Homo-oligomer: A and B are copies of this chain.
C-alpha cells in the first residue's frame, strides 16, 4: 500500500567533535529511530551478540560482500574489516523505520556515493564560531594564529560539501534538538509526500 519508507540519516564530522555523545543523547530521546548495526570480521567478545552489537562475518564472507556491493561503506582497522551492511539498512527503511548512522568522514563519503538518497548531517566544531568571535574582538591573537585558524577553517568548510545540513556542536542539547528538527522536517519534504500520495492514486485509479 502506502510507501511510507524510513529515511537514512548519516551523522558525521571531524574526529573529536562529539558525534558519539550527540548520538547517544539523541537515542535516549527518540525511540522510533533504528541504529545501524555494523558488520565486522573481528571476533565476538564476551557479552556481545550477533545482530545486536555487530553482524559477525569471516574474512572471506566479508570480502565477498564487498565484491557484491553489499556494503554501504567499509574500512579496515588493525587487520579487521568494519562496515555498514546495505541489506540491513534497506530492510529497516522498508519496514518504515528511520535508520541513524554515526560514522567517520571517510565512511560518510562512501555512504553518499552508495546511497545518495540519505540525509547527511555534518556535526561541526564550534571553532569556526570561535573564529568568528575572535575576528570580532580583534587583537587578542597574533596574526599568524588567526591565519592558521583560517586555514583550518577552510579545510573544515571543504569537508561540508557532501552534506545536507550542518549542526554546530557548541551545546549537546541544542545539537540534539536541531537533529530532531531535521528528522521531523525531512518527513515533511514535498517530494517525499507527493511521491507517497501519487502512488496511492496510481494504485486506485
Contact = CB atoms under 8 A, between A and B. Distances in A.
A135 B186 CA distance: 26
A79 to B, nearest CB: 36
A21 B124 CA distance: 37
A121 B190 CA distance: 9
Contacts of A135: 1, 200, 204
B188 A157 contact: no
A148 to B, nearest CB: 12
A53 to B, nearest CB: 31
Number of copies: 2
A205 B188 CA distance: 40
Contacts of A2: 132
A161 B190 CA distance: 8
Contact of A205 (B131, B150, B205): B150
B190 A160 contact: yes
A198 B166 contact: no
A17 interface: no
B150 A201 contact: yes
A157 B122 contact: no
A194 B157 contact: yes
Interface string A170-197: 0000000110111011101110011001
A165 interface: yes
Contacts of A161: 190, 194
11 contacts: A1-B136, A121-B188, A124-B193, A132-B200, A154-B201, A163-B190, A165-B185, A177-B184, A178-B185, A181-B184, A184-B185
Given A131-B200, A153-B197, 4 more contacts: A166-B194, A177-B184, A181-B181, A185-B186
The 10 closest A-B pairs by CB, nearest first: A181-B181, A181-B184, A185-B185, A166-B193, A165-B188, A182-B185, A181-B185, A163-B190, A166-B190, A157-B197
